[in-house]
Chains A and B, each alone.
Chain A
Amino acid sequence: EVLLVESGGGLVLPGGSLRLSCAASGLAVSSNYMSWVRQAPGKGLERVSIIYTGGTTFYADSVKGRFTISRDNSKNTLYLQMNSLRAEDTAVYYCASDRNSNYWSYFWGQGTLVTVSS
């Protein structure tokens, strides 16, 4: 059974930093397209970042230069380092994966809430 478990969310001041983690079981993060997708309260979905099996990374324009996606293959864990956080970054952040495609994700975690507020 595949499980993706996010952690690290919480309340942070504008301009602050947070690191999200996604611990995977039942799949290898190194062999899957791993993404972070966020959903602001009452809003739609936005793919924030993706890391390919070969290590190539991509970011949405809204977070480019502020967020960094990475993975630790030995811990089978995906990360999202978020710096210079803004109120508009407030959202539930989901970890998502797919074995075969960077255009959609079959497996999803339960999400972790990030609130940026003073």
Chain B
Amino acid sequence: QSALTQPPSASGSPGQSVTISCTGTNSDIGAYNYVSWYQQHPGKAPKLMIYGVRQRASGVPDRFSGSKSGNTASLTVSGLQAEDEADYYCSSYAGSNNLVFGGGTKLTVL
């Protein structure tokens, strides 16, 4: 069981927007602004998309945005494209040098 809770799946049509949630506690997401998001295509390594809650990693399109409210972080993908279909994982610092991840969300572009 993962420390952070993500919906197992999400979907949207090309051009639409979709938001993936990541729920933690006041010991991780709620305590620190050290939330990151990774994209992973099948058989590939994870790719850093968002760090520090809302900062886009180098080379990441501005269609991807991150936010946080209380113990829940969110990743929004606007203007969905076929290549956005992938698994997405959230991560948060949880104190005492512990890093926790979510179980992942499979994003399907319909």
CA distance A102 to B58 in the complex (A): 17
For this complex, into which size category does the number of interface residues on chain A fall? 20 to 34
Q: Are B48 and A58 in contact (CB under 8 A)?
A: no
Q: Does B48 contact A94, Cβ atoms closer than 8 Å?
A: no
Q: Is B70 an interface residue (CB 8 A)?
A: no
The digit string for B4-28, where 1 denotes a CB below 8 A from any CB of A, is 0000000000000000000000000
Q: Please indicate the chain B residues that have their CB under 8 angstroms from the CB of A103 in the complex.
A: 34, 36, 51-52, 91, 93, 99
Contact with B along A83-118 (1 / 0, CB 8 A): 000000000001000000111111011110000000
**A44-B2, A44-B89, A45-B91 given; A108·B97 CB < 8 A:** no
Decide if B101 touches A110 in the complex (CB within 8 Å): no
Residues from chain A with Cβ under 8 Å of B52 in the complex: 103
- Alpha-carbon separation in the docked complex, A101 to B34 (Å): 10
| Segment 35-75 of B: residues with Cβ below 8 Å from A | 36, 38, 44-48, 51-52, 57-58
**Residue in contact with A44 in the complex, picked from B36, B44, B98, B103, CB distance below 8 Å:** B103
In residues 35-74 of chain A, which contact B (Cβ within 8 Å)? 37, 43-47, 50, 58, 60
B101 touches A45 (CB 8 A): yes
Q: Are A46 and B101 in contact (CB under 8 A)?
A: yes
B30 within 8 A of A: no
**Chain B positions near chain A (C-beta within 8 angstroms):** 2, 34, 36, 38, 44-48, 51-52, 57-58, 89, 91, 93, 97-99, 101-104
- Further contacts, 18 of them, CB under 8 A, given A58-B97, A104-B36: A44-B2, A44-B102, A45-B46, A45-B89, A45-B101, A46-B101, A47-B99, A50-B99, A60-B98, A94-B45, A102-B97, A103-B34, A103-B36, A104-B48, A106-B48, A106-B57, A108-B46, A110-B44
Residue contacts A-B, CB under 8 angstroms, 22 given: A43-B103, A44-B2, A44-B89, A44-B101, A45-B46, A45-B89, A47-B99, A47-B101, A58-B97, A60-B98, A94-B45, A94-B46, A101-B51, A103-B36, A103-B52, A103-B99, A104-B91, A105-B48, A106-B57, A108-B46, A110-B44, A111-B45
